[in-house]
Chain A
């Protein structure tokens, strides 16, 4: 070994392949990327494209067969009053859930980012992580139990002799209903519950990046704690809120299971997609409906990007 400085004689199939890869860094990248790019490109982008294609087909009203010809007729159907109602309803629900999630998340994220230390930090972290990752259906199911007529919430109101309050609330139009489990309030609560961790984590990440000294500087310059909060912390936390809202908004837009299990009979976008592709067999209309959340999220992401929300992801 001591005499050979450049060991160009070293052979072996692996060494030879290694040599080739080393001489062609681009080939290495290409080899690494080909399998995942093929998978995502063919399976996923291909499918999205298939969806897009289908949305430009239409359905023959008499035979129920899909006509594979380009038309905008299916998109026009989205604007019939019944369908347009579904879209508006879903966007309103997504907005309400997003705003509520931001309000509920803030104290948790703020406490976890600023005050929790050591053991408590870990507890807060897992306290958000475990609900985030526990089964979606189980979470929805738990609310079916909570909101049921004979369930814990009604029992609580009865025990506290507050049933009149609940009944008064349920008699309100739109947000009320026969019982909580078939009202939009119920749907809203479940959405809020299920997507809450998705809002907490980005806000916490954004708040953790605010240096402690910045709040002290603000106080030092004569701001009251409330003023510091309003003028320093809140603007800095905003990208986190926007990042979180991307999740809550998108997830609410596309969900069809929650309103099906807890809610009134009036549909959301997800249910419409599910129903049209399933029993109705109207895949073009289902596809067109599915394009709606993509477009809404596209606009939302574009606005969020301009506000710098992606740094907090």
Chain B
């Protein structure tokens, strides 16, 4: 399988700020690749490096094996769905979608037909004559998608495309995007700060922190087997267990992670004190104090909820603790 996008030691500095710091990535053709991280972690800059809006300070980027050094955005058959959609306010929806084809010199009839088809693909048939300002947020998002897809890009870049939508619409669009990607077979590179979004849609996820990739892997690996405390904490807020406690349980002096839903309360295990409880719908969240470290447990419906201040014991199945590489923590 060829690699669609490859980064080799790529850095992008803005003055003294290292927005992207020696990043290596290899995105396979046809893959749905998510770049996940908090804001300012360098994921959007990486996307802009692929699109050609930024040039790397150091390192090499190649797209389908060709070096992308010095190639301007308009010479890259890579298209972007922007975070704010960036629809042209002076053009109607049809002309927005047909813009790329107009630039490449496609005849008017042909590009309008292609644009209509693209609008159908994103479930907006017949919206062509409207102005972007007359559309809802979700509709604008679909138009932005159609405008990119109509050019049949080999790589589609999506910059937090669902960020501005409300929860329900976002969940619906997640499913649709995933289905669309399977159907078209295009490589998707998807930037998000929402771990749920990344985990549910992507084939592989790269987690960014402070300009570096801290872990790349399948969603399950990222979720269940975080390699560093940052990933454990950021992706689904695992409990990070300090070495002195890990040693008590496993005998190994290292940091470890345990998911909140894996924690059981009862008579056996390590002694802990209940600090707070809160009902969050499908389960109850219990904050615990464990010999000076904080821990969170999610108790499913039906379990006995302890009182605040109560003394209890914490345990988990042997499979559920994941030992991490020792870091400076």
Do A and B touch each other in the complex, judged by CB within 8 A?
yes
Residue positions of A touching B, CB distance < 8 A: 1-2, 4-8, 10, 18-19, 22-23
Q: Which of A1, A6, A18 has the most CB of B within 10 A?
A: A6
- Check A6–B70 contact: CB distance below 8 A: no
Min CB distance A174 to B, Å, is: 60
Residues in A with CB closer than 8 Å to B316 are none
- With A6-B63, A6-B66: A1-B77 Cβ-Cβ less than 8 Å: yes
Most chain B beta-carbon contacts within 10 A, residue among A2, A8, A23? A8
Min Cβ gap B69→A in Å is: 10
Q: Does B78 count as interface, using CB distance less than 8 angstroms?
A: yes
> Knowing A10-B75, A19-B72 touch, does A5 contact B104 (C-beta < 8 A)?
no
Are the C-beta atoms of A4 and B71 separated by less than 8 Å?
Answer: no
B72 engages A5 (CB within 8 Å)? no
The docked-state distance in angstroms from the alpha carbon of A7 to that of B75 is 5
Cα A19 to Cα B63 in complex, Å, equals: 19
Q: Given known contacts A5-B63, A10-B75, what 16 new A-B pairs fall within 8 Å (CB)?
A: A1-B77, A2-B77, A4-B77, A5-B64, A5-B66, A5-B78, A5-B154, A6-B64, A6-B68, A6-B77, A7-B77, A8-B75, A18-B72, A18-B74, A19-B72, A22-B72
Chain B residue contacts of A23, Cβ below 8 A: 70, 72
**Chain B residues with CB below 8 A from A2, complex form:** 77, 152, 154
A to B contact number (C-beta, < 8 Å): 37
State the majority secondary structure of interface residues on A. loop
* Interface assignment of B313: CB less than 8 Å from any CB of chain A: no
CB distance from A242 to the nearest CB of B (A): 35
The CA of A10 and the CA of B154, in the complex, are separated in Å by 18
B18 at the interface (CB under 8 A from A): no
B contact residues around A8 at 8 Å (CB): 66, 71, 75
Q: In the complex, what distance in Å separates the CA atom of A2 from the CA atom of B70?
A: 21
Identify B152's interface contact among A1, A7, A10, CB under 8 A. Answer: A1
B72 touches A6 (CB 8 A): no
Contact B104 A6 (CB under 8 A): no
Question: Is there a chain A Cβ closer than 8 Å to B76's Cβ?
Answer: yes
Query: Can you identify 11 A-B contacts, CB atoms within 8 angstroms?
Result: A2-B77, A4-B77, A5-B78, A5-B155, A6-B77, A7-B77, A8-B75, A18-B72, A19-B75, A22-B72, A23-B72
- Smallest distance from the beta carbon of A130 to chain B beta carbons, Å? 30
Tell me which residues across on chain B come within 8 A of A18, comparing CB atoms: 72, 74
B75 neighbours in A (Cβ, 8 Å)? 6-8, 10, 19
Q: Which of B50-80 contact A (CB under 8 A)?
A: 63-64, 66, 68, 70-72, 74-78
Q: Which 6 A-B pairs have the closest CB atoms?
A: A5-B64, A22-B72, A7-B75, A6-B66, A6-B71, A5-B77
Q: Which residues of B contact A22 (CB under 8 A)?
A: 72
Q: Give, as a whole number of angstroms, the nearest-CB distance from B206 to chain A.
A: 21
Residues of B within 8 A of A10 (CB): 75
Complexed CA–CA distance, A7 and B153 (Å): 12
Interface centre among B72, B74, B77 (most CB of A within 10 A): B72
List A contacts of B70 (CB < 8 A): 23
Nearest B residue to A2 via CB reads: B152
Nearest Cβ distance between residue B13 and chain A, in whole angstroms? 16
Q: Which residues of A contact B78 (CB under 8 A)?
A: 5
* Residue of A1, A2, A5, A8 with most partner-chain B CB within 10 A: A5
The complex places the Cα of A261 from the Cα of B78 at a distance, in Å, of 69
A27 CB to nearest chain B CB (Å): 14
Which residues in A have their C-beta under 8 angstroms from that of B66?
5-6, 8
In the assembled complex, the Cα of A22 lies from the Cα of B76 at a distance in Å of 14
